[in-house]
Amino acid sequence: MDAHPTRISLIQAAIRQFGRGGFEAASTRTIAAQAGTNISSIAYHFGGKDGLRIACADAVAERVAQVARPLPGLQDRPDPRHARLLLRRLVRRIVTFMIVSPGASDAVAFVLRELAEPDSPVLDRLYATLIEPRHRALCALWSAATGAPAEAEEVKLAVFSLVGQAVYFRVAAPIVQRRMGWRHYGRAEARAITRRMLANLDRMIGDGDG
Amino acid sequence: MDAHPTRISLIQAAIRQFGRGGFEAASTRTIAAQAGTNISSIAYHFGGKDGLRIACADAVAERVAQVARPLPGLQDRPDPRHARLLLRRLVRRIVTFMIVSPGASDAVAFVLRELAEPDSPVLDRLYATLIEPRHRALCALWSAATGAPAEAEEVKLAVFSLVGQAVYFRVAAPIVQRRMGWRHYGRAEARAITRRMLANLDRMIGDGDG
DNA sequence: GTCTATAAACAGATAGAC
DNA sequence: GTCTATCTGTTTATAGAC
């Protein structure tokens, strides 16, 4: 909420550290040092390490919400061709965000770690603010593109399949890059991944019933 | 290598703990207690916590190698229809292994954590023994099914897309289950995921050039 | 091989100066 | 708000009894 510079630096450093080795592996000392401030600032601004964790979850959720802001409203139901176009645009945006934007690696790793932990203290928060609304929106678009009901099991699983691919390309980057012979994720690599994911999307949507 | 019972118990407990909160979050005390032995056993059998980490990586790689043993040899090149059949069978097997087999959750989480860490001490090992050979085999099958060259960029990315979906369904299980309204991953849930992934596979392979 | 006891380094939290 | 200093508990590693 607050735009205090120390607060922001701490959150940024914490997402990085939490994303790399996990919450418990990151030490408040390292985070504070990387943020260019003192350890006690964490207690002052967030009440402790756990408070910092929550603040990180909120920060990521808010950042993603801003990137995904111009999503078409759920109320207007586009025709199949338009829905497919919007889905393609979203896939492009997701891949671009995840692959090329700096810092996305740590943010995605942080979120996935929290999502994987069954009793993470921020799981409810992330699900309600980040996962659920966006997954629901994608299901609605998928439904408009294919004609299947938006809340059908098949549709929900299809959307998970799609985002799962993107998440994997980001999180498993070290081995993907090694297998592909890539030195890093740059524009060319992002383009190749985008091409593949768009092809997957088109085929999964098919000509109707998927 | 050794079949010493304490060794095995320790590895099993360690994979579980490493998979849940990450390597650094797991304490040797907890691991030893869960294995029903003393902390010092870790130093004795593995030289220390790092040695245990390596032993875990080898254990998972070996276990997967056993499950994936009856893979068709790379030298014989099946015709497209047969290749598609084999791919479908492999998808079934992968989902079954990941979703329903007990303990797979922790093993997958452990491996993914190591793969995500760019300078994990066991990344090279896991890549060489677990990732590369299996990815290569899948690419060969994909090639046989579609006609595309096995080492083409598109093919390698397609295979990553496919396994990425399965990994995501496993690792992000808490939110998948919440969104799907599932209480856990059982036979019915595994069947639904398998159905979706087989549909994805069929469409991605298409009628040829994918 | 498995245990107890302990060492040395590290963690997060906090009291209080400024 | 930010710092230093310190408290308390926990970490891994290890020495040595059995």
Asked if pLDDT for residue A210 goes beyond 50, the answer is no
> What average pLDDT does range A155-180 have in this prediction?
98
DSSP 8-state code for residue A185: -
- Does residue B48 share a domain with residue B8? yes
Nearest to A154 among B131, B174, B196 (CB): B196
Chain A window 98-157: which residues touch B at a Cβ cutoff of 8 Å?
109, 112-113, 115-118, 123, 126-127, 131-132, 135, 153-154, 156-157
Asked if the structure places residue B194 within a domain, the reply is yes
Decide: CB of A39 under 7 A of nucleic strand C: yes
> What average pLDDT does range B177-192 have in this prediction?
98
Which nucleotide in the DNA or RNA is closest to residue B44, CA to C1'? C1
Tell me the pLDDT band of A209, cut-offs 50, 70 and 90: very low
Asked if pLDDT for residue A193 goes beyond 50, the answer is yes
Q: What is the pLDDT of residue B210?
A: 44
Asked if pLDDT for residue B169 goes beyond 70, the answer is yes
- What is the reported pTM? 0.96
Tell me the pLDDT band of A198, cut-offs 50, 70 and 90: very high
| Chain B residue at shortest CA distance from A112 | B172
Q: What is the pLDDT of residue A149?
A: 98
Best residue in A157, A184, A205 for a mutation probing chain B (most B CBs within 10 Å): A157
> CA separation (Å) from A30 to A25, A35, A108, A109, B148?
10, 9, 20, 18, 48
Asked if the structure places residue B40 within a domain, the reply is yes
Q: Which two tokens stand for residue B55?
A: 């032993």
- Does residue A78 share a domain with residue A42? no
Q: Which domain holds residue B153?
A: 68-205
Asked if the structure places residue B16 within a domain, the reply is yes
Number of structural domains (chain B) is 2
Tell me the pLDDT band of A70, cut-offs 50, 70 and 90: low
- Does residue A98 share a domain with residue A5? no
- Does residue A201 share a domain with residue A116? yes
Query: Nearest CA of chain A to the CA of B116: how many Å?
Result: 5
Residue A98 CA neighbour count, 13 Å, CB half: 26
